[in-house]
Structure 1
Amino acid sequence: MAWDTEGTKRKILNAAATEFAASGPDGTTIERIAKLAGVNKERVYNYFGSKQGLFSHVLADQLATAAIEIPANPTANDIGEFAGRLYDYRRKHPELARLLLWEGLTFGAEVPGEQSRGDYYGRSTSALSDSQAAGQVDPALPADLLHFLVLSVAGYWAVLPQVARMITGADTDDAAEDKRRRAGVVEAARRLVLLAQ
């Protein structure tokens, strides 16, 4: 019987995403990841090298999936819906926010894959800059700061759900509250780019 290498890698990546999101790279072990994936730890090392290497692969995999679902092309006309799609994605995949937080706590200056990820983010910043140059987006804030603010408005709900609960008095599983939060994200993003009248 042939070994399903890609299937095994997928099981490892899924198990590692769960473990890393919950405990971070320093708080889990290859043994726990292998056990959750149903493989021996040598397979993990063979496919991904070190634990840091596996963490980098997991984050790259998660970000690649997000990039497919949320193309990096916000424009003045759809900045609100761009932020809404970011909110929806982070709501459905809170592990991505946790992985990004762990990355910030674990790595020093430069993170693995920083150049390609920077290029992805750069496309969104360029789209906003182009909209500013065309007079469609308020130029009061530089495009890079505006881009980061939109990401923050859309994503912070997944980063600090306990603070969101304390402020709003509602849990993340409250459908009406989720709809209200999303509408707030969309409106806030639109107002960030609104030209002064």
Structure 2
Amino acid sequence: MAWNTERTRQLLLDAAVREFAEHGPEAARLDRVAAAAGVNKERIYQYFGNKEQLFAAVLTSALEKLAEAVPLDEHLAGDLPEYAGRVYDYHREHPQFIRLLHWEGLHRGDGPVVAGEQRGAHYAEKLAALAASQKAGTLTSDFAPRELLYAVIALAGWWYATPQLAQMIMAEGTETARDTLVRLVAKLAG
């Protein structure tokens, strides 16, 4: 019987997302990843190398999934509030992404970014889309594209990064969190 390498690799990645999101890169255990995936632990080393490389693969894969699910091109950048709402929706459905980013920040601090060149290229594409939308006049030029993108990412993700704050501060509002976010980004985007 032929070994399905791609399927095995994906099973390991999916299990590793859960493990790293729950425990972080320091406390995550490769034996739990292998058991959850139903795969021999040695396959992790064969496909990914060590735990640090697996964490890098998990972050890269999670970012690619977000980028695929919520793209931002020049056309979509013209409706930045709706983009922010879609990012918010993605985080609601995939809360592990925010947790992975937080673990990365806690684990690495100001150190090198995992897969920094690849991830930087991803954000450069988004910045170019925002710049093009500004040039076309469909998006405010009051802020640099990097400022807009960072603000949208922070606003869309912070609801899930600190749900206790949202619960305490926003508890009595009649507007949904998504509606509030969209309204805030609409003001920001001009």
The normalised TM-score by structure 1 is 0.87
Pairing 1:158–2:154 present: no
In the TM superposition, residue 16 of structure 1 has moved relative to its aligned partner by 0.6
Q: Is the 8 A contact 1:72 1:120 kept in 2?
A: no
1:191 is matched with 187
The residue type paired with residue 119 of structure 1 is A
Q: Which residue matches 1:100?
A: 101
How big is the shift at 1:111?
1.4
Identical columns (%): 41
Call closer, same or farther: CA 1:15–1:178 in 2, change over 3 Å: farther
The Cα RMSD (Å) is: 2.0
Counterparts in 2 of 1:95 and 1:84: CA distance versus 1, 3 Å:
same
Given that 2:134 and 2:141 are in contact with CA atoms closer than 8 Å, whether structure 1 keeps it comes out as yes
The answer as to whether partners of 2:81 and 2:189 remain within 8 angstroms in 1 is no
**Match of 1:13?**
13
How far the C-alpha of 1:133 sits from its partner, in A, is 3.1
Correspondence 1:97-136 to 2 at 5 A: 97-107=98-108, 108-136=110-138
Q: 1:18 to 1:61 in 2, by over 3 A?
A: same
**Stretches of structure 2 lacking an aligned partner (at least 5 in a row):** none
State the Cα deviation string for residues 44-91 of structure 1 (Å, max 9, x = none).
Answer: 111111000111111111111111111122656311111111000011
Q: Alpha carbons of 1:26 and 1:81: their partners in 2 closer, same or farther (altered >3 Å)?
A: same
2:85/2:182 contact within 8 Å kept? yes
What is aligned with 1:182? 178
Aligned letter for 1:193? A
Residues 66-81 of structure 1 mapped to structure 2, 5 A cutoff: 66-73=66-73, 75=76, 77-81=78-82
- Deviation of the 1:39 alpha carbon: 1.8
The gaps in structure 1 that reach 5 residues or longer are 171-176
Alpha-carbon distance in 2 for matches of 1:132, 1:4: 46
- Equivalent AA in structure 1 for residue 83 of structure 2: F
- Distance in 2, matches of 1:66 and 1:139, equals 26
- Normalising by the residue count of structure 2, what TM-score does the alignment of the two structures yield? 0.90
**2:78, 2:133 within 8 Å by CA — same for their partners in 1?**
no
TM-aligned CA deviation for residue 3 of structure 1:
1.9
CA distance in 1, matches of 2:61, 2:91: 15
8 Å CA contact 2:21–2:99 kept in 1: the answer is yes
Secondary structure of 1:2's match? coil
Task: Decide whether the 8 Å contact of 1:76 with 1:131 is kept in 2.
Answer: yes
Give distance in 2, aligned partners of 1:76 and 1:37.
38
Which residue identity is paired with 1:28? A
